[in-house]
Amino acid sequence: MFEFITAFAIGLVVLCLVGKVVSLPLHLVWKLITNSIVGAILLWFVKLVVVKVQITFLSALVAGFFGVPGVIAVLLYTYL
């Protein structure tokens, strides 16, 4: 009986560790998707308001990867 309880506890700990390892990359992917959507919308909005900003592959990549700080960086790069 003691072996069964020990094996169950070890299995439960291993299952929790595996779940934590799997959920971490999914969290990062979700954050990257959210930043990409927010960055694209903000970059498009800035393009409507400010005519001087050009949407290139590099500016879209920076805005998509970093989100709001990326759009701010693109604006600073455009005006400096």
pLDDT value, residue 23:
75
- Token digits of residue 48: 């409507």
Whether residue 79 contacts residue 46, with contact meaning beta carbons closer than 8 Å, is answered with no
Give the amino acid at 65: F
The CA distance from 19 to 16, in Å, is 5
The CA distance from 58 to 79, in Å, is 16
Taking only the tens of pLDDT, the chain with its 80 residues reads 777 778 777 887 888 878 777 777 777 878 888 888 888 888 888 888 877 888 888 888 888 888 888 888 888 888 88
pLDDT value, residue 66:
85
Domain boundaries, the chain: 2-79
The model's pTM: 0.63
DSSP code string of 16-67: HHHHHHHHHHHHHHHHHHHHHHHHHHHHHHHHHH-TT----HHHHHHHHHHS
